[in-house]
């Protein structure tokens, strides 16, 4: 429920910003509804690291009208995110307070870049205290059809900061199921679809050695936007009677469909391969026993 409320708030902010942008000048549109960094000390720290010529942005508040780079706000945080943009380049910069002085802790020029998406806003909770040990940051994107995606990052003061998940409405309308692609560091993804009425479908995709979601190494372009991004073609190696497909990885359940010998199937290949493989069949994600799948070399 918290994730859904977060998404609804982000979408509302984007829709409000969009209505304002449509009535504003071209110069106003180019601001992308983000707020330029105003704290001179932080600007100097960032420019010393990456040079001048970048447009620097500070996070917007989630709810209240708070000056997010004021000294009164900064005194309560130990980590602070900044987005730097120049032409088509973009960097995520994490500042860290060390003995009362700010310094650049992380610069990542691939963390926020995705060719088919445009960043429109980023924000963090304005209600922080000096005792907090983590802060969640949200990056809001739009695709060419106006579909909203929310990428979340948790900054930890005592552990490695990690990107957590990508959230959106599948189909882009409120009646659509919501989709959450959660990142499990060094393991892979957990993909969830939430439907009205409380029904949830979940899929675990293991990609050991290929999934690093730490803030310093994360690459947004490598993350799937939907299940279909992970599909690959394979050939069914079924017995004569065919290979059954199930809605859950349970051979004692009743099959809902079947595929036959040498049928081409679209599957999500995992590492390591388990007893079950996720297969896309007529637009539905089902399970097939891995022994019936010949994966490409």
Check whether residue 245 and residue 163 sit in a common domain. Answer: no
pLDDT at 10: 43
Check whether residue 43 and residue 189 sit in a common domain. Answer: yes
Using an 8 Å Cβ cutoff, are 182 and 192 in contact? yes
pLDDT at 171: 61
pLDDT at 147: 87
Check whether residue 34 and residue 136 sit in a common domain. Answer: yes
Of 180, 203, 225, the residue that ends a domain is 225
pLDDT at 196: 64
pLDDT at 115: 92
| Distance in angstroms (rounded) separating the CA atoms of residues 258 and 255 | 7
pLDDT at 17: 40
The count of structural domains within the chain is 2
Residue 204 CB neighbour total at 10 angstroms: 16
List, for the chain, all residue ranges whose pLDDT scores fall below the cut of 50. Answer: 1-31
Residue 151 CA to its chain's centroid (Å): 3
What Rg, from alpha-carbon coordinates, does the chain have? 22
Does pTM top 0.85 for this prediction? no
Of 225, 245, 277, the residue that ends a domain is 225
pLDDT at 248: 87
Check whether residue 24 and residue 71 sit in a common domain. Answer: yes
Check whether residue 28 and residue 168 sit in a common domain. Answer: yes
Of 169, 198, 225, the residue that ends a domain is 225
240-278 pLDDT tens trace: 889 999 998 899 999 999 999 999 999 998 877 889 999
Check whether residue 257 and residue 130 sit in a common domain. Answer: no
Residue range of the domain that includes 277: 230-294
Check whether residue 10 and residue 89 sit in a common domain. Answer: yes
pLDDT at 284: 86
70-80 pLDDT tens trace: 999 999 999 99
Check whether residue 245 and residue 115 sit in a common domain. Answer: no
How far are the Cα atoms of 16, 46, 187, 195, 252 from residue 174, in angstroms, in the given order?
Answer: 16, 39, 31, 11, 36
Give strand ranges (E) for the chain: 35-36, 55-58, 60-61, 79-86, 89-98, 101-108, 118-124, 134-142, 148-156, 162-169, 178-184, 188-194, 200-206, 231-236, 243-245, 257-259, 264-268, 276-281, 284-289, 293-294
| Distance in angstroms (rounded) separating the CA atoms of residues 250 and 275 | 10
pLDDT at 16: 39
Check whether residue 190 and residue 55 sit in a common domain. Answer: yes
Check whether residue 215 and residue 236 sit in a common domain. Answer: no
Q: What is the CATH number of the domain that holds 287?
A: 2.30.30.40
Check whether residue 163 and residue 145 sit in a common domain. Answer: yes
| Distance in angstroms (rounded) separating the CA atoms of residues 221 and 248 | 30
Check whether residue 283 and residue 160 sit in a common domain. Answer: no
């Amino acid at each position: 429920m918290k994730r859904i409320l977060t998404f609804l708030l982000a979408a509302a902010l984007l829709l409000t910003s969009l209505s304002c942008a449509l009535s504003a000048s071209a110069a106003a549109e180019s601001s992308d509804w983000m707020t330029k960094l105003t704290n001179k000390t932080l600007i100097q720290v960032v420019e010393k690291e990456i040079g001048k010529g970048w447009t620097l942005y500070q996070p917007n508040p989630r709810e209240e009208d708070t000056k997010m780079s004021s000294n009164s706000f900064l005194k309560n945080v130990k980590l602070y995110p900044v987005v730097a943009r120049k032409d088509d380049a973009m960097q995520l910069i994490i500042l860290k307070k060390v003995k009362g002085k700010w310094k650049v802790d992380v610069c990542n020029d691939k963390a926020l870049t995705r060719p088919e998406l445009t960043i429109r806003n980023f924000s963090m909770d304005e209600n922080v205290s000096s005792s907090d040990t983590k802060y969640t940051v949200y990056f809001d994107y739009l695709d060419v059809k106006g579909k909203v995606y929310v990428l979340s990052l948790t900054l930890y003061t005592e552990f490695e900061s990690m990107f957590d998940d990508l959230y959106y409405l599948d189909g882009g309308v409120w009646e659509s199921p919501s989709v959450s692609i959660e990142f499990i560091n060094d393991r892979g993804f957990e993909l969830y679809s939430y439907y009205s009425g409380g029904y949830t479908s979940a899929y675990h995709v293991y990609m050991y050695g290929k999934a690093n979601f730490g803030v310093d190494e994360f690459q947004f372009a490598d993350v799937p936007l939907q299940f279909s991004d992970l599909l690959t073609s394979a050939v069914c190696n079924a017995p004569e009677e065919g290979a059954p497909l199930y809605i859950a990885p349970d051979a004692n359940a009743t099959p809902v469909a079947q595929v036959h010998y040498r049928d081409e199937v679209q599957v999500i290949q995992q590492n390591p391969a388990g007893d079950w493989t996720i297969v896309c069949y007529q637009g539905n994600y089902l399970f097939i026993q891995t022994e019936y799948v010949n994966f490409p070399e």
